[in-house]
C-alpha cells in the first residue's frame, strides 16, 4: 500500500496525468473568470439584500458557482444541462426508442443521447433566464429592461450556460474527473472564503463554545457524508458451472453491490426545481387585480418564506423524490433477468421473479435510509442558520454533499490513472 506522498510523487512524475491536471485547472480558471462578468443594470446593494433574505435562491446560487448572486453572464451555471439530463432520463421510461439508444446501442447511442440532451439545454436555459430576470425585476434588484435589452441579456445568459456545458465536456475529455461536477465543485469552493470572512468579521469571543460546536459538527457531517456516499449492501451472487469443450466456466462467487445512496444528489435537484415554479407563478399572481387571488398568492408566498415550513416541505419532497428516482433508474426485474441469462443466482433465492422481489425488498429498505440522509442534508443549512446565521453554507448541506462526492470521485479516478501507469 503506497503512502499519500508516494502517490503524489507518481502523479508529479507522470507527464500525461500532470498535463490532464493542468488542463483541468486552466479551464476552471476560465470558468471563475466568466462568473465575475456581470450583465448590465444591477443594483448591487439590493442584489445582496435579496440573496441574503431568500434561502431558495441562495441554494440555487450554489449550483451556479456564485454567478447567480452576481448576475454574471454564466449566472445559470450548468443548471439547465442538469435539468435536461433529468428530463432525458425520465423520457427513457416513456420512449422505448430512447431507452434502447441509451442502454443498448453502445457508445454511438450514448453520444446521440448526449446530443439530444445538449439540444434540450438551450430552450430550458432560455426559460430559466427569463424567469430569473422577471423575478429580479419585480423585486427591484435590476432595472426594467427594454424588449431589445431583455432579449439580448437572455441570449447572453443562454450562450454562457451552453459554453459552460462545452467547458465541462472538455474537462471530462482532456482533463480529469467529471467536468460538470467539477464546475459545480469550483463554485462551491469559491463561496467558502466569503463565508469564512463573514464569520470572522462577526467573531464574538463570548460565542467561542458555539464556534467550537460548529467545527465539531462540520467534521461529523463530512465524516457522515463520506460514510453514506461509500456505503453499500453486498448481495452474494454465484455463477453456475458451465462446460464448453474441455473447459469449465463459472462456479465462482461474487457479490452485487447496492449503494445506500442510490439516487445521489438528483432528488435534491428535483425538489429545488419543483419549489421554484410555485414561487414564480404566485409572484405573478400576487400582482393581478383580483383581491382573492392576491390574498391566496400572498399567503402561499408567506408560507414558503417561513423558515420551518419551507424546511418541512423541502424535506418531504427530497424524501419522496429519492424513492421516485431510485425506482426510475434501478429496475430489479431487469437485473434479475440479466443474472438469469448469465447463469448467475442468489444463494437461497429462486431465479426469476423471486430474485426480483428479493432485490426490490432490500432496495426499499436501503432507500429509506438514503432518503432520510438526503432529507437531513438538504434542510441542514436552513436549520443551522436559525441557530448560527452565516454558517449554514460553510458547514453542510447540498453543497457539502456535492463537494465530498466530487472529491471522492476525483481521488478514485486519479488513483486509477496512477495504477494504470504502473501496469
pLDDT value for 395 = 44
**Average pLDDT, rounded, for the chain:** 76
Contact 154, 28 (CB under 8 A): no
Q: Is 337 exposed, middle or buried (0-12, 13-18, 19+ CB in 10 A)?
A: middle
H or E element that contains 166? helix 147-174
Q: Is the dihedral of CA 271, 277, 279, 282 positive or negative?
A: negative
In this structure, what C-alpha cell is assigned to residue 392?
449554514
pLDDT value at 161 more than 80: yes
Phi, psi at 106, each rounded to 5°:
70, -150
CATH homologous superfamily of 204-423: SecY subunit domain (1.10.3370.10)
> Which is higher by pLDDT, 168 or 57?
168
Residue 247's pLDDT band, with cuts at 50, 70 and 90, is low
pTM of the model: 0.74
In the chain, where are the structural domains located? 1-201, 204-423
The per-residue pLDDT for range 315-362, each reduced to its tens digit, is: 888 888 888 888 777 878 888 888 888 778 888 888 888 888 888 888
- Which has the higher per-residue pLDDT, 274 or 130? 130
What SS3 class is residue 256?
strand
What cell does 134 get? Answer: 422577471
> Would strands 253-259 and 344-345 be described as parallel, antiparallel, or unpaired?
unpaired
Of the candidates 53, 36, 35, the residue with the CA atom closest to the CA atom of residue 141: 53
- Fold designation for 1-201: Preprotein translocase SecY subunit (1.10.3370)
DSSP 8-state code for residue 253: E
Say which residue, 284 or 187, is predicted with more confidence: 187
Identify the residue whose cell numbers are 486552466: 26
**pLDDT, tens digit (0-9, with 9 covering 90-100), for 177-234:** 778 878 878 877 777 776 676 666 666 667 677 778 777 877 887 888 888 878 888 8
For residue 407 the three cell numbers come to 472529491
Mean pLDDT of the region 289-297: 74
Over range 226-248, report the average pLDDT. 77
Are 181 and 264 in contact, with CB atoms under 8 Å apart?
no
CA pair distance 269, 313, nearest whole angstrom? 14
Amino acid at each position: 500500500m503506497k503512502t499519500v506522498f508516494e502517490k503524489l510523487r507518481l502523479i508529479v512524475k507522470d507527464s500525461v496525468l500532470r498535463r490532464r491536471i493542468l488542463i483541468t485547472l486552466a479551464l476552471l480558471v476560465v470558468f471563475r473568470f466568466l462568473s465575475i462578468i456581470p450583465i448590465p443594470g444591477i443594483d448591487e446593494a439590493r442584489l445582496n439584500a435579496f440573496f441574503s433574505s431568500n434561502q431558495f435562491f441562495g441554494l440555487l446560487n450554489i449550483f451556479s458557482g456564485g454567478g447567480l448572486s452576481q448576475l454574471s453572464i454564466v449566472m445559470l451555471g450548468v443548471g439547465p444541462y442538469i435539468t435536461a439530463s433529468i428530463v432525458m432520463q425520465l423520457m427513457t421510461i416513456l420512449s422505448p426508442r430512447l431507452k434502447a439508444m441509451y442502454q443498448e446501442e453502445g457508445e454511438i447511442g450514448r453520444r446521440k443521447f448526449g446530443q439530444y440532451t445538449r439540444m434540450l439545454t438551450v430552450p430550458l436555459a432560455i426559460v430559466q433566464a427569463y424567469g430569473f430576470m422577471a423575478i429580479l425585476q419585480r423585486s427591484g434588484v435590476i432595472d426594467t429592461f427594454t424588449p431589445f435589452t431583455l432579449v439580448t441579456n437572455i441570449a447572453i445568459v443562454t450562450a454562457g450556460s451552453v459554453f459552460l456545458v462545452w467547458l465541462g465536456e472538455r474537462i471530462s475529455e482532456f482533463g480529469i474527473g467529471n467536468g460538470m461536477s467539477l464546475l459545480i465543485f469550483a463554485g462551491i469552493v469559491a463561496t467558502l472564503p466569503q463565508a469564512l470572512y463573514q464569520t470572522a468579521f462577526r467573531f464574538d469571543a463570548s460565542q467561542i463554545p458555539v464556534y467550537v460546536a460548529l467545527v465539531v459538527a462540520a467534521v461529523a457531517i463530512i465524516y457522515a457524508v463520506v460514510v453514506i456516499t461509500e456505503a453499500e449492501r453486498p448481495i452474494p451472487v454465484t455463477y453456475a458451472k458451465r462446460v464448453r469443450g474441455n473447459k469449465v466456466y463459472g462456479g465462482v462467487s461474487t457479490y452485487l453491490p447496492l449503494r445506500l445512496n442510490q439516487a445521489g444528489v438528483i432528488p435534491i435537484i428535483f425538489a429545488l426545481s419543483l419549489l421554484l415554479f410555485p414561487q414564480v407563478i404566485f409572484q405573478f399572481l400576487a400582482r393581478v387585480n383580483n383581491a382573492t387571488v392576491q390574498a391566496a398568492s400572498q399567503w402561499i408566498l408567506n408560507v414558503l418564506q417561513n423558515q420551518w415550513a419551507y424546511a418541512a416541505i423541502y424535506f418531504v419532497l427530497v424524501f419522496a423524490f429519492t424513492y421516485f428516482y431510485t425506482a426510475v433508474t434501478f429496475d430489479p426485474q431487469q437485473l434479475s433477468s440479466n443474472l438469469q441469462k448469465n447463469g448467475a443466482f442468489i444463494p437461497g433465492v429462486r431465479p426469476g421473479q423471486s430474485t426480483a422481489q428479493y432485490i426490490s425488498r432490500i432496495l426499499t429498505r436501503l432507500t429509506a435510509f438514503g432518503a432520510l440522509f438526503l432529507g437531513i442534508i438538504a434542510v441542514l443549512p436552513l436549520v443551522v442558520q436559525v441557530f448560527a446565521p452565516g454558517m449554514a453554507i460553510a458547514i453542510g448541506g447540498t453543497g457539502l454533499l456535492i463537494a465530498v462526492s466530487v472529491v471522492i470521485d476525483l481521488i478514485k479516478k486519479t488513483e486509477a490513472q496512477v495504477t494504470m501507469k504502473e501496469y
